[in-house]
């Protein structure tokens, strides 16, 4: 009885879903015959590009921080990105992890203005930052951010490399990927012309980005002596490295904890295997001489 | 427990004797996972996953309780407290990654445990109750995992909560009021977040309770084994301890190595980048997917794209998705073959390896892919086979199938002869 | 379990060694896991970073005090009057429960600035007396209403159950009027 019931339910579901499949075939068939693919090509599917390759010292299971690069990246964030992008999950005190001394961090924090309260009147006010303050947002609220940026709210950068496919490579590609719209695109998709106020960038999912190219000239950020030349490429790499750190400050510690843990587990597992073999040797049917026979 | 040759617990010292008289906990453990539980001697490594699943439950409860000490279920700060855990709490990053990846590994282990059950028909009499309780545990796990994924309050959390509670809105008439009731509002917000947190904390302990029932029910008939032949006498069994404690210890080591590789070196590999974007009720991510362990069922849900007679596509998808799991409850009565193990069922084995397993692979893949062709059509074919396999193939195959000869006993299958093997006995 | 072993001492010892080693590894691993589980409960980086406070003392008149916040607890900053200083210095410290002079409890050149935690050393209540209209108790300093501990004008315990003087935190005068605590 249960089987009859089951068989009929199974057939109902199977027929329903195959009916849906048949409908799918009918609607897909003309698309396939016309374009040779299952979906109609769009400017996005044809011209969107995967991030370029970017190699950072923090890559891979042995990755560590390049502190000089992170400091340069911080400088790029401060002088360029921070004009529009907040970084609210980072506090100035976190900069100590980049190799700055507590006194340097205190001085650095004081160069930023953060929202505060006037101690005499109690009114909202700006004051110099202290190490325990978070990085301030350039806009008082989301509406102001949208209003100042053609309705596109600049995303917070704290987690950006973890919040995008491709991570640091994506950030780097986006920063260096601004270019004129290819003629081939306009020829193939005349409707996909970049609207005014947006900027063509093939690394951005829908190709047209509200952000104007932020890194425009070599030397835009003046690196201190002993640092590489601040080419656009270098600045983009440095800030991508910095944003890898802001998204995952514990990355190096994680790697450094992981190896001893794995080593320990490997030894423990080998021992567990040997112990198991010893214990089972007694009742294994195979004739394995010399190992003890245990009558457990 | 139920075998006459099961060893009886002998307290070795005064304290244990005292305990044994007043509260026989050592006796219980001895009989449950100690030398007092006779287990078939021929279990393969596929029988390791029960213990591993128990380990995962403990791991999740321990790391979860720790995370709850630092997390706040409030829509304004939930995302921030999660980042606080990652950045400022001592070892907080480890706790969170251990918990997030622990959930994934819990599901890996449980899926292997379930599919072991499918292949060896572990659900058949006399183990129906073990199977039913197992399906209950799986459903509770899915609910717990879903609510846990909402807690970080990222974009996937928010939209996951909205979409999954939206499943209930497919129910005619009462559906939408039910969704509003579940969320405590018209969209996920503080009310939903708080109740999900509360239930996410509670349900693991409910799971632990059902796990105890699951193990209790297991000890009545004893463990199944790869031949599917029941235990005949003492030579078919070995005591759980030390034989299977040692084997499970080794299995645990292998499990922990794989787990730690993920936690320490690829902690976000099984997650989705969009969940590192704070929840935004006004913008849906371009491509929303649940966590990987829901993909097969998500693919089934999305397969029903057209109305079927008077049943709307949405309702059909929801019904199919829930049926896909609920029908497992009926397996013991759908599959009537007298032979348990797939090793001795030639036709069943073909359907398992060339039907069910590829189907699951397709459903996993398509559930994680965007809802575009050809993925939808592929998952439609897979969905059809999925239902046919459990509801049509399994009930019918036993009528046509001629099982291969079974070994006389477990001992024979191991030794090639049915002589007592334990040298000392 | 090894009694029936037919392979002699070496077999036994090797097996025992491997089993003991395997179980020990499991034990060590278990203990190692406890460390982060315990450590996660101690103050997090943001809490530790907040453990310093700056106080401007310039607006405090003699005989008055303010309550600042240090480590999420009240910090009493009080400017003593001449009379209060004399009272404090007149006490024979050998008679005190927790012998300290006013000099030891203030900074040189700032003996009138008494900076202490506003936390009774008995069980942690906030004593009264930082504002001049509050009950300052029989010794004119602070008085804890919870269990009746009375502190004198140098915030030393004089009467009641508290075992210690009000704690003086680490602080420095970064200028004539600004104090950095912690």
pLDDT tens digits, one per residue of B152-194: 999 999 999 999 999 999 888 899 999 999 999 999 999 999 9
Q: Looking at residue C12, what is its pLDDT?
A: 60
User: What does the pLDDT read at residue B16?
Assistant: 92
Chain B's closest residue to C37, CA to CA, is: B66
**Cβ burial, residue B416 (10 Å; 0-12/13-18/19+):** exposed
Token pair, residue A242, equals 């910095």
Which one is predicted more confidently, A296 or B247? B247
Q: Are residues C142 and C63 in the same domain?
A: yes
Kindly state whether residues C62 and C84 are assigned to the same domain: yes
Share of chain C above pLDDT 70, in %: 92
CA A28 to chain centre: 35
Per-residue pLDDT averaged across A182-195, rounded?
90
DSSP strands (E only) in chain C = 53-56, 65-70, 73-79, 113-117, 140-144, 149-152, 157-159, 171-173, 178-181
Nearest CB to A6; choose among B256, B306, B391: B391
Confidence of residue A290 (pLDDT cuts 50, 70, 90): very low
Active site residues of C: 147
Q: Is the pLDDT of residue A296 over 50?
A: no
CB atoms A13 and B250 under 8 Å: no
What is the rounded CA–CA span in Å between residue C105 and residue C100?
7
In chain B, where are the structural domains located?
37-414
pLDDT reading at B198 higher than 90: yes
Query: Does residue C30 belong to the interface with chain B, where contact is any CB pair within 8 Å?
Result: no
Percentage of chain B lying above the pLDDT 90 cut: 87
Lowest-confidence segment of A37-46, B16-25, B82-91 by average pLDDT? A37-46
How do residues B48-65 score in pLDDT, each as one tens digit? 999 999 999 999 999 999
Say what the pLDDT of residue C48 is: 87
**Which helix (DSSP H) or strand (DSSP E) does residue B413 occupy?**
helix B410-415
What's the whole-number average pLDDT of chain A? 91
Please report the pLDDT score of residue A295 as a whole number.
Answer: 41
- What's the pLDDT tens digit per position in A90-137? 999 999 999 999 999 999 999 999 999 887 888 999 999 999 999 999
Nearest C-alpha in B relative to C44? B89
CA distance to A99, C45, C164, C167, per residue, from C48 (Å): 19, 5, 25, 19
Taking the Cβ of residue A222 and every Cβ of chain C, the question of whether any pair is shorter than 8 Å is answered with no
C52 vs chain B: nearest CA distance in angstroms?
A: 17
**Residue C178 clears pLDDT 80, i.e. is over it:** yes
* Average pLDDT score over residue span B364-371: 93
Mean pLDDT in residue range C13-32: 88
pLDDT of B371 > 90? The answer is no
Nearest residue of A to residue C1 by CA position? A296
Same domain, C76 and C162: yes
Is there a single domain that holds both residue C27 and residue C105?
Answer: no
Structural domain boundaries, residue C167:
47-181
- Strand (E) or helix (H) holding B39: strand B38-40
Residue A213 has pLDDT above 80, yes or no: yes
Subunit contact C18:A267, Cβ cutoff 8 A: no
**CB count in 10 Å sphere of residue B325:** 15
Predicted local distance difference test score (pLDDT) of residue B204: 98
Q: Can you give the pLDDT at residue C11?
A: 55
Tell whether the model's pLDDT for residue B263 goes beyond 60: yes
Domain of residue A181, residue span: 67-251
Region B35-40: mean pLDDT is 93
Least-confidence region, from A42-51, A252-261, B207-216, B270-279:
A42-51
Residue C155 has pLDDT above 90, yes or no: yes
Mean pLDDT, rounded, for C5-28: 75
Does residue C86 sit in the same domain as residue C118?
A: yes
Q: Is the pLDDT of residue B68 over 90?
A: yes
pLDDT of residue C10: 57
Averaged pLDDT for residues C166-177: 92
Looking at the complex, report in whole angstroms how far the Cα of residue A181 sits from the nearest Cα belonging to chain B.
23
Tens digits of residue pLDDT in A154-174: 999 999 999 999 999 999 999
Mean pLDDT across the stretch B351-374?
94
> Given an 8 Å threshold on Cβ–Cβ distance, is A285 in contact with B372?
no
**Same domain? C14 vs C75:** no
Concatenated DSSP letters of chain A: -HHHHHHHHHHHHHHHHHHHHHHHHHHHHHHHHHHSSSS---HHHHH--PPPP---TT-STT----HHHHHHHHHHHHHTGGGT---TT-BGGGGGGGT--HHHHHHHHHTSEEEEE-TTT--EEEEE--TTSBPPPSSSSHHHHHHHTTT-PPPPSTTTTTSSTTHHHHHHHHHH---PPPHHHHHH-GGGPPPTT-EE-TTSTTSEESSPPS--STTSS-PPTTSPP--HHHHHHHHHHHHHHHH-TTHHHHHHHHHHHHHHHHHHHHHHHHHHHHHHHTT-SS---SS-----
- Report the residue from B86, B274, B387 with minimal CB separation from A10: B387
Mean pLDDT of B106-112: 98
- Residues of chain C contacting B84 with CB distance shorter than 8 Å: 44, 46
Q: What is the pLDDT of residue A119?
A: 78
**Phi-psi sector, A60: left (phi>0), alpha (psi -120 to 50), beta:** left
The larger pLDDT score, comparing residue B412 to residue B319, is at B319
Q: Quote the tokens at residue B395.
A: 């009930």
Cβ contacts of B287 within 8 Å, gap of 6 or more? B370
Q: Taking residues B253-271, report their average pLDDT.
A: 97
pLDDT mean across residues, chain B: 93
Say if residue C93's pLDDT is above 60. Answer: yes
| pLDDT of B419 above 90 | no
Distance from CA of B63 to the nearest CA of C (A): 8
Catalytic residue annotation of B: 219, 223, 247-248, 291
**Contact present, C127 and C117 (Cβ < 8 Å):** no
Same domain, C98 and C23: no
Minimal Cβ distance to A292: which of C5, C45, C49: C5
Asked if residue C2 has pLDDT above 80, the reply is no
Question: C44 and B92: CB-CB below 8 Å?
Answer: yes
Number of domains in chain A: 1
CB contact under 8 A, A16 and B308: yes
How many distinct structural domains can be found in chain C? 2
pLDDT of residue C14: 66
C30 interaction partners in chain B (CB closer than 8 Å) = none
Specify whether the CB–CB gap between B105 and B261 falls below 8 A: no
- Give the confidence band of B417 by pLDDT, cuts at 50, 70, 90: low
For residues B140 and A119, the model is more confident at: B140
Q: What is residue C15's predicted lDDT score, i.e. its pLDDT?
A: 66
ipTM over the 0.90 cut-off: yes
pLDDT at position C9, please?
A: 55
Chains in touch with C (≥3 Cβ pairs < 8 A): A, B
Whether A83 maps to a domain, the answer reads: yes
Is A227 inside a domain boundary? Answer: yes
Which has the minimum average pLDDT: A52-61, A220-229, B238-247, C12-21? C12-21
- Does A138 have pLDDT greater than 80? yes
Any idea which architecture B37-414 has in CATH? Up-down Bundle (1.20)
User: Looking at residue A226, which CATH number applies to its domain?
Assistant: 1.10.760.10
Distance CA B390, CA A100 (A): 63
- Any idea what the CATH number is for the domain that residue C132 is in? 2.102.10.10
pTM greater than the 0.80 cutoff: yes
């Amino acid at each position: 009885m249960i089987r009859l019931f089951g068989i009929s339910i199974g057939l109902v579901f199977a027929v329903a879903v195959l009916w849906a499949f048949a409908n799918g075939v009918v609607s897909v068939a003309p698309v396939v015959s016309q374009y040779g693919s299952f979906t109609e090509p769009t400017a996005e599917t044809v011209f969107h590009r995967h991030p370029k390759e970017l190699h950072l010292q923090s890559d891979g299971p042995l990755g560590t921080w390049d502190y000089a690069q992170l400091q340069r990246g911080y400088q790029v964030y401060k002088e360029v990105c921070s004009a529009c992008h907040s970084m609210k999950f980072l506090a100035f005190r976190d900069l100590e992890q980049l190799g700055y001394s507590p006194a340097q961090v205190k001085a650095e924090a004081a160069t930023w203005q953060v929202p505060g309260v006037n101690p005499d009147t109690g009114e909202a006010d700006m004051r110099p930052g202290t190490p325990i303050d978070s990085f301030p947002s350039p806009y008082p609220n989301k509406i102001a951010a949208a209003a100042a940026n053609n309705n596109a709210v600049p995303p917070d950068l704290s987690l950006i490399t973890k919040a995008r496919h491709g991570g640091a490579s994506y950030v780097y590609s986006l920063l260096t990927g601004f270019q004129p719209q290819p003629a081939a695109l306009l020829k193939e998709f005349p409707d996909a012309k970049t609207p005014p106020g947006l900027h063509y960038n093939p690394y951005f999912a829908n190709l047209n980005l509200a952000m104007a190219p932020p890194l425009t000239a070599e030397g835009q950020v003046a690196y201190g002596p002993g640092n590489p030349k601040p080419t656009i490429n270098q600045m983009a790499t440095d800030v991508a490295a910095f944003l890898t750190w802001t998204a995952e400050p514990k990355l190096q510690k994680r790697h450094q904890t992981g190896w001893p843990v794995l080593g320990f587990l490997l030894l423990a597992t080998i021992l567990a295997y040997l112990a198991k073999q010893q214990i089972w040797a007694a009742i294994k049917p195979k004739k394995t001489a010399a190992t003890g026979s245990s009558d457990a | 427990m139920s075998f006459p040759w099961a060893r009886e617990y002998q307290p070795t010292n005064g304290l244990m004797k005292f305990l044994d008289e007043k509260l026989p906990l050592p006796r219980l453990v001895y009989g449950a996972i100690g030398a007092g539980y006779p287990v078939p001697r021929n279990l393969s490594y596929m029988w390791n996953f029960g213990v591993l699943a128990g380990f995962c439950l403990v791991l999740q409860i321990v790391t979860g309780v720790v995370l709850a000490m630092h997390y706040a279920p409030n829509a304004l700060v939930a995302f921030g407290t999660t980042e606080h855990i990652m950045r400022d709490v001592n070892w907080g990053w480890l706790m969170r990654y251990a918990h997030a990846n622990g959930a994934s590994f819990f599901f890996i282990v449980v899926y292997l445990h379930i599919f072991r059950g499918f292949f060896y028909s572990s659900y058949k009499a006399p183990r129906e109750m073990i199977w039913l309780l197992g399906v209950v545990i799986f459903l509770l796990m899915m609910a717990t995992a879903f609510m846990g994924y909402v807690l970080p309050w990222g974009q996937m959390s928010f939209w996951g909560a909205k979409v999954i509670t939206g499943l209930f809105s497919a129910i005619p008439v009462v559906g939408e009021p039910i969704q509003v009731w579940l969320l405590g509002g018209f969209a996920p917000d503080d009310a939903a977040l708080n109740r999900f947190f509360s239930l996410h904390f509670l349900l693991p302990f409910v799971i632990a309770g059902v796990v105890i029932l699951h193990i209790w029910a297991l000890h009545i008939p004893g463990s199944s084994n790869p031949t599917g032949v029941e235990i005949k006498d003492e030579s078919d069994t070995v005591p759980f301890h030390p034989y299977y404690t040692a084997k499970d210890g080794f299995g645990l080591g292998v499990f922990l190595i794989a787990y730690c590789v993920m936690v320490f070196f690829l902690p976000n590999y099984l997650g989705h980048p969009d969940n590192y974007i704070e929840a935004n009720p006004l913008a849906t991510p371009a491509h929303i997917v649940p966590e990987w362990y829901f993909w097969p069922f998500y693919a089934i849900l999305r397969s029903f794209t057209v109305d079927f007679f008077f049943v709307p596509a949405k309702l059909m998808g929801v019904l199919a998705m829930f049926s896909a799991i609920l029908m497992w409850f009926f397996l013991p009565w759908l599959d009537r073959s007298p032979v348990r193990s797939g090793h001795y069922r030639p036709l069943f084995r073909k359907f398992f390896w060339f039907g069910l397993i590829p189907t699951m692979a397709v459903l996993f893949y398509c559930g994680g892919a965007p809802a575009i062709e050809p993925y939808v059509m592929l998952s439609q074919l897979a969905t059809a086979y999925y239902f046919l396999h459990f509801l049509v193939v399994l009930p019918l195959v036993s009528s046509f199938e001629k099982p291969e000869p079974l070994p006389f006993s477990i001992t024979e299958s191991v030794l090639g002869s049915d002589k007592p093997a334990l040298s000392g006995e | 379990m090894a009694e029936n072993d037919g392979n002699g001492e070496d077999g036994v010892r090797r097996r025992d060694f491997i089993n003991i080693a395997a179980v020990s590894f499991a034990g060590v691993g278990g203990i190692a896991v406890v460390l982060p589980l315990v450590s996660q409960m101690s103050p997090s980086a943001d809490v530790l970073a907040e453990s310093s406070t700056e106080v401007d003392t310039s607006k405090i008149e003699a005989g008055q005090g303010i309550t600042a916040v240090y480590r999420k607890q009240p910090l009493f900053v009080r400017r003593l009057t001449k009379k209060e200083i004399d009272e404090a210095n007149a006490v024979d410290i050998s008679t005190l429960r927790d012998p300290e002079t006013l000099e030891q409890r203030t900074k040189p050149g700032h003996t009138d600035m008494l900076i202490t935690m506003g936390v009774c050393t008995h069980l942690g209540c906030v004593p009264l007396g930082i504002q001049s209209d509050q009950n300052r108790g029989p010794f004119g300093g602070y008085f804890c209403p919870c269990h009746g501990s009375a502190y004198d004008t140098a915030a030393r315990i004089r009467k009641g159950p508290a075992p210690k003087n009000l704690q003086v935190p680490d602080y420095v005068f970064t200028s004539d009027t600004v104090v950095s605590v912690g």
